[in-house]
Structure 1
Amino acid sequence: MSVASASITAVVALLGVVLGGWLSIRNQDRLWQRDHARQWRDIRLAAYKDFVTAYRQYVAFTLQPSANITAVRFPHSPERLTPFFDQVGQPYKERLETAATTVRLVSESLDTLHAARDVVRSVRQIAASRATHSEEALPAELFQRLWSAQHAFLLAVREEFGLAVLPAGTDDA
């Protein structure tokens, strides 16, 4: 009986070690996943912040009286104009393109991607229009489109982060 009792004790101890090891690995995996999710959330938040900063600086530059912008027809869509900047404006364009590409790389949500694309299109339309209009004569509907696109972007990002929906009238441009 002592051999059977010793065997049962050894098996129970071994099962305890296996179960403890499995629980420890499972707990470590959960911690790693939580930490990984937190890191990606921080990466996305930084990318979205950089994107907002870049498109606002882009628009601010296009509204400067000294901005030198030209526009040409888009090769695949002749109805659309593509803005081109001089050396002073080129960094604003590059910053926007880089930030928009980063958003495309890190976003989890298609709604966020589509909203960011709409923001980029809106600011490009403002810049293309600025090529033929003075800063005071830019069509108001271009800014309305930008504000709508910006609002959609903010809503999509908030949804992606699991935040509450903004009440109407709380989104200032």
Structure 2
Amino acid sequence: MRLIDIPRITNGMVLQVLMNADLDEAIGLLVPPKSVLESGESKAVATDSGSSEAWRWRMRMATYIASLIDPEKFGVKGFYVFGSTKNATAGPASDIDILIHFQGPDEKRCRLEFWLNGWSLCLDEMNYQRTGYRTGGLLDVHIITDDDIARKTSYAAKIGAITDAARPLPISSRKKNGD
């Protein structure tokens, strides 16, 4: 058996081995050292250790979801982000605090909650693959009504607040037919 110093003979490249246990196959690639995938715990430190990356990604995702939401289908009048994502302090294990101004029948609210739950679970998996952290769902959604806003109850008070106000995100203006 012969030992080969891969980084020395490949000008600093390292050997990355990708394995598929189901197919019982593997492939080796020479890659720059930065692209080598560490274990889940190491990856959390390596990929999302920058203080700005976690909150920026969360803000991009919240903005994207708001841009896709169909106001007519889901009864959404406003979509807001608040908390650590809005304040640019979110870390890799932080959730995304969302405030939804809702108006409509229970059927629309149920449809909205299912849609957002799907996004929450998807974002949780994406966050896990990026950082190694799981939360069981990345979105922390609070739904408020016109009545809540008029009475300035709980989270509704964050809309238009002087301090620590929720940040409105643009929602879709397109109208769709069907699901």
Q: Shared fold (TM-score greater than 0.5)?
A: no
Q: Which structure has greater strand proportion?
A: 2
Normalized against structure 1, the TM-score is what? 0.31
Q: Which structure has greater helix proportion?
A: 1
**Which structure: larger Rg?**
1
